[in-house]
Amino acid sequence: MAVLVDAFRQELSKLGWIDGKNITIEYRFAEQKNERVPELAADLVRLKVDLIVATGTPIALDAKSTTTTIPIVMVSSGDPVAAGLVASLARPGGNVTGLSALSTELNTKRLEILKDAVPKLARVRLLRSPGASNLARDLQLKELRAAALALKLKLEEIDAQPDPKGLESAFQTAKQKQVGAIMTMTTRAFFAERKRIVELAGKYRLPAIYNQKEFVDEGGLMSYGVDYTDLYRRAAVYVDKILKGAKPADLPVQQATKFEFVINLKAAKQIGLTLSPEFLSRANTVIK
């Protein structure tokens, strides 16, 4: 997260906004506790901030439910129209605008990559985020189920508590059921436990694809997703425009345009997976 915040601050600086001089940035972190987000959003509203930057769909929704007047710049929302954050991408229509990370659509691409990587893949174990149904979770599941059906893959879903015991149980069951590969839903909780998830994928010799390259940095097999650093830089441009008088309702939502496909050959060797030269040629980065 620090790297992304730095990218945001650096871009703001290029646009003439220096924290502590002509702009003050108030940071609020929920620390994986989603129930804290409404309270944090309300705190910012009480401070009468000029603008709120919200990361991800759930946080943007909480911010929107807290204020209809303070401009909100969303970063990496999955499907902001389906989530009810904006009326349309071209005409947001309210106090929210920003960037879409296309997270639901990218799940389809990840399944396609898994099928290409693993010979005769038939069954994929999906680690779902536990807890009550919410809009972001439901949108992801809807897309994944449709994609699995189209690719003739059986998607075996399981709620996995993001702690050592819960994750170990999920992987152990996956191995017992002889699934061919693993995927995780895009959630902050799984991202926070990425080191443990990667270790378990290696321990149980299960191919896995992740949504962010940070999983591969920890030794994971491969990742495909948006370049989040680019999204945070572009969020700074929205902040600049709004602080200079533009209205969120008039600023079209932009979609992610930069994507990263990273493969770790060390991880492939560890689980006994051979990847063809043709498959490797599709990656932006191959770690040897």
Do the domains spanning 2-102+227-258 and 103-225+260-287 agree at the CATH topology level?
yes
**Residue pLDDT tens, the chain, 288 long:** 788 899 999 999 999 999 999 999 999 988 767 788 899 999 999 999 999 999 988 889 999 999 999 999 999 887 899 889 999 999 999 999 999 987 667 888 999 999 999 989 999 999 987 765 677 778 888 889 999 999 999 999 999 988 999 999 999 999 899 899 999 988 888 988 999 999 999 999 999 999 999 999 999 999 999 998 999 999 999 999 999 999 999 999 999 999 999 999 999 999 999 999 999 999 999 999
Nearest 5°: the CA angle 272, 274, 275 is 140
Question: Which fold would CATH assign to domain 103-225+260-287?
Answer: Rossmann fold (3.40.50)
Q: What is the pLDDT of residue 133?
A: 60
Q: What is the pLDDT of residue 132?
A: 54
Residues facing residue 99 across a β-bridge: 254
Q: What is the pLDDT of residue 139?
A: 81
| Residue spans of beta strands (DSSP E) within 102-187 | 123-128, 154-159, 181-184
The single-letter DSSP state of residue 84 is T
Q: Which CATH architecture has domain 2-102+227-258?
A: 3-Layer(aba) Sandwich (3.40)
Centroid of chain to Cα 203: 25
Radius of gyration of the chain (CA): 20
- φ/ψ (deg, to 5) at 226: -75, 160
Residue spans per domain, the chain: 2-102+227-258, 103-225+260-287
Enter the tokens of residue 194. 């990425």
- φ/ψ (deg, to 5) at 97: -150, -175
Q: What is the pLDDT of residue 275?
A: 96
Question: Left if phi > 0, otherwise alpha if psi is -120 to 50, otherwise beta: which for 80?
Answer: alpha
